[in-house]
Structure 1
């Protein structure tokens, strides 16, 4: 095989785009790309399931702001990866998925694992490419990375016909395509200033993608120096520090009544990087009146997902907005003190973990999640990273984990399960100096818990909290609301999760009473920090009193 094949050009182009790590499940359909990775400085993380690999790529995109890269094979492999594409699509996360395809000559003949990538992925991706000309391999990579990163970010799929990627190509690589940040004009800045100066109840509503560490810091400075309260969009609680005097909490599931009230009562709302969508507006019911003053600062010219009135749309990323307002002084902080302090007080109160003597007693052999979470939070550094899957336990837990460093929260806005463990692995591999914590339910953990084996293989270390209530708890709650006392299809029989983690090469603890919590947390964090291995705490909870 000629070494100068299209598969090699793809790998060289990934390196040119700064890719340091790819998440793969190998397949015979893209052997030429795997061959290109052989001598590359790019780390090839071999995963145990395509869903896990694609979730890791999606989480990498959230964590770094740069496209995460996954590689899977055709047919079943592509189908398994689809769950992460939907997550990246709804969360606006840059991601590039490479999918091996059948040889060109075998198309339209019901060949082994044949499928149509355009039909499968066309509605859930920004672009779908199929590399039919080997010489364009580097160009297609550049176009894919540009599409994934520009405007409202999102996933892109590149189909790789098995034969085409073996063809000989030139050494020339397509240069990286720059991504524009947009801008806030002097006129827009003056308009924003006038609206805020006239406001009695201004509010910043922030979230979405296209943030950087610097942008988060500058927006925090702007909000704090001017005393403007901030609320975060759902699952985006890490842009302004948890303990900032202007942080008034998050909207969405698990929000406080005060947070929703502030969202409704603000006379000037400035949405930065996100839009008032389904979850934040309580199913398109909050802040829907046409006379509301809503300024949307968003690089997406289509404002996809928006609801309610739009007073002004500034086409700018959070980076461009932050650079424009960082030194803006309004001089009205004391005028907004009561408005701000009420929201801050409600957020602070909601983040206090309940004392165990204030909670109902649990059945013998079970413990409160509060007991474990309290011990974990007390021992974590300021820059810890948290990952959540889906379920009531996530909406509950995210209140208590302090997101004081950006980025520090990885989660899914589309309610997709099986995300917490792969996301924690992605974060631990990217930033091994930070403690990564995954919070999972028993049902959610079983969907991708096998990726602990991947973490052990590649030196990933994280703390995993598994809340075991023996059921799909969120669905059970809905079931009880609509069909009382008719439990059906939601109950689970679980393995010993602590023993499972030990079998993979990690550390495992089981907590069956509140008194077990402190020692179990101490030993688990020691395993993560000192031994550099994953640690799992299996918390047996009472299904009737699993969360306060």
Structure 2
């Protein structure tokens, strides 16, 4: 437990009380960038059992905490200072919001008596984070710290998970109190209504072309196992949503692919052809619905069943015939104990779904000496099923999503909000949580440079991971859209890159440069065997702008 502080007063100060409550919430690691606004918390952490990972920028700290929430299902915790620190952290809050990830962000604040005077680095966090967080609260006294922290953790994980922000005025952290540490609140969980389950089975049994679309953040490996068993038992094909491909083994014979950015056109057609769409754990938002265009609303014969832990999502993005307020795992567990007898023979339908996916992931040639699809396919074949792969945002990720097949839950960590710079902090968080597993961060050159300073964090804590840099010298996604709308008029999308091998060496890493595809397997094996972090630069041809297009084809 933390010390009681330096003062002669034997009562603990607010920072120690907060840390003690975090321990009660089973927090073992936090991510931070230090600030004088929460020195009491740093003092409380000094002798505690909680590991404090000190990051180089608040965006990196917040991304790491968000990734922790994805990986564990428990709220990730970050501490940042007031004003600029909170502003830097806002990208992580946005990611936690859109990705439905439980997270608690603690923010330093000016003294209470200085509030609402635009004091140095003052921000009204209720206004600043109000529409992104599930709850924003500013401490009023040290006595309320245990209750507020316990409530924050419960809210972050309840229903649709998401971020919570707690503001920490300096004077409140200075206060001393004999308040007792509080037991954790138990979030209210929704179990599926039995009548709704029966109605779902009735719909399934009369369907001819059903499709399950799995996604969302409330998931587990048991959920994977139950879903795979249900699909095997019924023959119903399964698709996944954007950056949630690890919700089923992609080598399952009934897996149909992912509804991602630039999705397989045949999978989009399959969604339109369904007569029953079971949305399992996903909000089915902008990306999987292809800009809210599928499924088309004119098909009155299609039944749409939405399973989600919060009823607030029912009917928000598309009409729902049946909404089941439940965690996916709880519904699948119910279904596993019940008899489901489909009247239709689904083998032809399921085979069609699977064959369209197999055709889609077939490696195709692209310009350049380094064939990115071949490298991703090699990784998919050779990495163990326990390997965790992280990524941020950019066209490079489209190659990963198309040609890499996750096999187990928790092995794909990406931002569905499209946050550039996410992959490296996420990889740090993953490797810290699972030190014995291989962790690979795939990052574009533009994406990596947004949080490249966290290489220093990796070196400081001796985190042995592998970074693959897809270097094409472009902000690739923006260039693709630019060439589509304004061909030949290149503006603001070229990118300078450092010598990544020298940069890796400067940080004490192992570095590799791949200029031909055949060099990659040996470079990767050397990186695996290195006793330090590794970076492999892939020199890609900018002409290969996406898995399906080239710059020349966009211009023609």
Structure 2 length as normaliser, TM-score? 0.93
Q: Alignment partner of 1:308: what SS?
A: coil
Change (3 A) 1:520 1:328: same
Q: Is 1:512 matched with 2:515?
A: yes
Which residue, 303, 307, 313 being the options, matches 1:293? 303
Structure 1 residue 71 corresponds to structure 2 residue 71: no
Alpha-carbon offset, residue 166 of structure 1: 1.6
Counterpart residue number, 2:395 = 392
Give 2:353's aligned residue.
343
How far off its partner does 1:449 sit?
A: 1.6
Offset from partner CA, 1:50-88 (integer Å, 9 cap, x none): 000000001111111110000000001000000010111
Give a deviation string over 1:310-365, Cα, whole Å, max 9, x none. Answer: 101111111221221123332449811111111112223333433xxx444x2xxx
1:58 and 1:331 map into 2 onto residues whose CA distance is: 41
| Pairing partner for 1:303 from 313, 319, 322 | 313
Structure 2 CA distance for aligned equivalents of residues 232 and 545 of structure 1: 26
Q: Number of residues paired by the alignment?
A: 537
Equivalent pair of 1:211/1:318 in contact (CA under 8 Å): yes
Match of 1:144 among 131, 138, 152: 152
CA deviations over 1:156-214 (Å, ceiling 9, x no partner): 00000011112112251121111233112221121111110100011111111111222
* Deviation, structure 1 residue 470: 0.7
Q: Are positions 1:422 and 2:425 aligned together?
A: yes
Farther off after superposition, 22-31 or 224-233: 224-233
How far residue 405 of structure 1 moved from its aligned partner, in angstroms, is 1.0
Check conservation: 1:222, 1:327, Cα contact below 8 A: no
**1:279 is the counterpart of 2:287:** yes
Unaligned stretches of 5+ residues in structure 1: none
Contact 2:205 2:343 in 1 (8 A): no
Verify the 8 A CA contact 1:370 1:547 in the aligned structure 2.
no
> CA separation of 1:329/1:223 partners in 2, compared to 1, >3 Å: closer, same or farther?
farther
**2:183 aligned with 1:210:** no
SS of the residue 2:195 aligns to: helix
1:86-165 → structure 2 map (5 Å cutoff): 86-165=94-173
Out of 25-34 and 287-296, give the one that drifted further: 287-296
- 1:33 corresponds in structure 2 to 41
Q: C-alpha distance in 1, partners of 2:544/2:221? A: 39
- Kept in 2: contact 1:150–1:180 (CA 8 A): yes
Q: How does 1:12-23 map to 2 (within 5 A)?
A: 12-23=20-31
Q: Distance in 2 between matches of 1:102 and 1:304?
A: 40
What is the rounded CA distance, in whole Å, between the counterparts of 2:502 and 2:168 in structure 1? Answer: 40
8 Å CA contact 1:375–1:517 kept in 2: the answer is no
Instruction: Note the C-alpha offset of 1:375.
Output: 3.8
Structure 1 partner of 2:453:
450
Distance (whole Å) between structure 2 residues aligned to residue 315 and residue 374 of structure 1: 38
Q: Partners of 1:297 and 1:222 in 2: how far apart?
A: 15
Q: How does 1:203-352 map to 2 (within 5 A)?
A: 203-289=211-297, 291=300, 292-303=302-313, 306-332=316-342, 335-352=345-362
Alpha-carbon distance in 1 for matches of 2:527, 2:542: 25
Residues of 1 paired with 2:437 and 2:212: CA distance? 29
Q: Does 1:482 align with 2:485?
A: yes
Structure 1 runs (4+) deviating above 4 angstroms are none
Report which stretch shifted further, 288-297 or 304-313: 304-313
Distance in 2 (alpha carbons) for counterparts of 1:371 and 1:314: 42
Change (3 A) 1:331 1:309: same
Q: Secondary structure at the match of 1:160?
A: strand
Give the gaps of 5 or more residues in structure 2: 1-6, 548-556
Residue 308 of structure 1: how far off its partner (Å) = 1.9
CA distance, structure 2, for counterparts of residue 172 and residue 305 of structure 1: 43
TM-score by length of 1: 0.95
- Cα distance in structure 1, aligned partners of 2:343 and 2:357: 19
In structure 2, what is the Cα distance between the partners aligned to 1:88 and 1:342?
36
Q: Does 1:534 align with 2:533?
A: yes
Q: 1:374 to 1:288 in 2, by over 3 A?
A: closer
Which secondary structure does the structure 2 equivalent of 1:447 belong to?
coil
1:497 is displaced (CA, Å) by: 1.5
Distance, in Å, in 2 between the alignment partners of 1:307 and 1:377 is 34
Measure the CA separation in 2 of the matches of 1:374 and 1:202: 30
Contact 2:376/2:399, CA 8 A, preserved across alignment: no
| In structure 1, C-alpha distance between the alignment counterparts of 2:225 and 2:505, rounded to whole Å | 40
Q: Distance in 2 between matches of 1:117 and 1:23?
A: 20
Which SS does the other structure have where 1:457 is aligned? helix
Query: Relative to 1, partners in 2 of residues 1:503 and 1:379: Cα closer, same or farther, differing over 3 Å?
Result: farther
CA contact under 8 A between 1:207 and 1:274: conserved in structure 2?
yes
Answer yes or no: is 1:85 the counterpart of 2:93.
yes
Question: In the alignment, is residue 471 of structure 1 matched against residue 469 of structure 2?
Answer: no
Q: Partners of 1:139 and 1:488 in 2: how far apart?
A: 52
